[in-house]
Amino acid sequence: METSVKATQGGKVWLITGASTGLGRVLAEYLLGVGARVVATARKVEQLRELGEKYPETALTLGLDVTRQESVDAAVAATVERFGRIDVLVNNAGFGMVGAVEESAEGEFRPMFETNVFGLIRVTQAVLPQMRKQRSGHVVNLSSIGGLVATPGFGMYNATKFAVEGLSEALAQELKPLGIGVTIVEPGPFRTDFLGRSGLVAERRIPEYEQTAGKMRAYFSEQDGKQRGDPKRAAAAMVKAVESEHPPLRLLLGASTIPRLKGKLEAWEKEVAMWQATTLGADFPEGE
């Protein structure tokens, strides 16, 4: 597979947000290894120094805070100045939070929305004029299986990823006539620092939620470093999807995602059937 990927990636320009750690970092390293040109960004650019030193001709490392418009605009301008184009945007910057909805303070969840949702919008809006000019490009938005199936204790995080799903689905339809693709990546648990230092735990604890949200708190502390997902395989899968003749709108990653999604769809289908008469009865009778 790597030989074919090298052939297709030569010269392509990928802009990746949140590339200091996790899937973003692994993806940047993978792409640089197969000959792509990569703009790796992070809030602390010094964390990307090794990439720039190892790949001085094909890597550009930039400081980028997706919550600041001026930082976003400067990074996009620097990318176009250096490489002349942007072929793939990977909106990877983001983090998670655990805690029941009632337990979550605004000061805890608002920064997550600023990064996971509004930051993604800022970067996408800044890059799209270049892609429209090229009449080509691909936007990859990192969601989560948590953007399709909600879990007690993950409500605020789920809300950010559900937002990414809806935005991306509409965006794909808007951009298709312009020759620009969109893929939503929905990973399950991967062995990154998502459950470690990148995750936020709500400070407030309410005893009544211990059997629901409390279990997710325990998962956060107990499963870090034990996740089945392999970030390197995920990176290869993402590149394969983008480079395919018919890129998917949605790309599930990790074996646990399939039964979770199928379980939700089956339950949803049963509920729709059970309440179908009520649903249809909400319209005016025909002829009125």
Q: Kindly list the catalytic residues.
A: 143, 157, 161
Amino acid at residue number 131: M
What are 211-219's contacts with CB under 8 Å, separation 24+?
212/100, 212/152, 212/153, 213/98, 213/99, 213/100, 213/103, 213/152, 213/153, 214/153, 215/152, 215/153, 216/98, 216/151, 216/152, 216/153, 216/154, 217/98, 217/99, 217/153, 219/98, 219/195
Q: DSSP string covering 170-208, please?
A: HHHHHHGGGTEEEEEEEE-SBSSSTTTTTEEE-S---GG
The label of the residue with tokens 């600023």 reads 114
- Gap between the Cα atoms of 283 and 200, Å rounded: 45
Nearest to 20 by CA among 93, 95, 126: 93
| DSSP character at residue 229 | B
